[in-house]
Chain A
Amino acid sequence: TQLLEQSPQFLSIQEGENLTVYCNSSSVFSSLQWYRQEPGEGPVLLVTVVTGGEVKKLKRLTFQFGDARKDSSLHITAAQPGDTGLYLCAGSPNTGNQFYFGTGTSLTVIP
């Protein structure tokens, strides 16, 4: 059982389209992180959200933390082929010090 469920699992879109990835849990998190991973490499941190309702922007990427701190979303505007990769949400639930990853969203942006 995964503590963090992501949707969609796979996404293939044309260059220039917008997309949203969701990360949901029944647990409360003190903070959530979003990572992007390339094949054969470790995850690279994109952003950390810590406050319920918080919105952070990183160029064409917009991250939101749910009011109850149980969910988060990643929105990409005008996707580019360079955005292709595995996107992962992750965090440590309030109940412990483990650090769990979401189920992952594999994004392919077609030129």
Chain B
Amino acid sequence: GAVVSQHPSRVICKSGTSVKIECRSLDFQATTMFWYRQFPKQSLMLMATSNEGSKATYEQGVEKDKFLINHASLTLSTLTVTSAHPEDSSFYICSASWGQVTEAFFGQGTRLTVV
């Protein structure tokens, strides 16, 4: 099956610093990657969709300068939370797909805590 690895699984950072989260497709080429944010007991909210080699498409209300997404290769996408604040603390999950999107495969998620 398709495997997606997300790293780190947990990170604690100080307010004002930046944090990078990596999402890798291990056994397939991911033409499309998705980044989600999830609050406790809530669903996954799509933040942005990224296609390899092009700029990410951000959902309404998501600050692209705050959440920098890079999808430089078919196996790696990164999400950088810049100048993190406590309200950015959340569970971030990536997923990857190929071709026409009919199914997505998920990473394990990253628990970000900003103190």
The chain A residues found within 8 Å of chain B, CB to CB, are 2, 6, 30-31, 33, 40-45, 48, 50, 86, 88, 90, 92, 97-104, 106
Contacts and interface: CB of A to CB of B under 8 A. Distances in A.
B101 A33 contact: no
Given A40-B91, A98-B49, A106 B41 contact: yes
Question: Sorted from nearest, which 6 A-B pairs have the closest CB atoms?
Answer: A104-B43, A42-B106, A92-B101, A101-B44, A97-B101, A31-B102
A45 B103 contact: yes
Interface in B20-48: 32, 34, 36, 41-46
Contacts, number: 66
Contacts of B59: 98
Interface of B: 6, 32, 34, 36, 41-46, 49, 51, 57, 59, 91, 93, 95, 97, 100-109, 111
10 contacts: A2-B43, A6-B43, A43-B44, A48-B102, A48-B103, A88-B44, A98-B57, A98-B101, A99-B97, A101-B44
Contacts of A48: 102-103
Contact of B102 (A6, A92, A101, A102): A92
A103 B41 CA distance: 10
B43 A101 contact: yes
Nearest to B107: A42
A97 B100 contact: yes
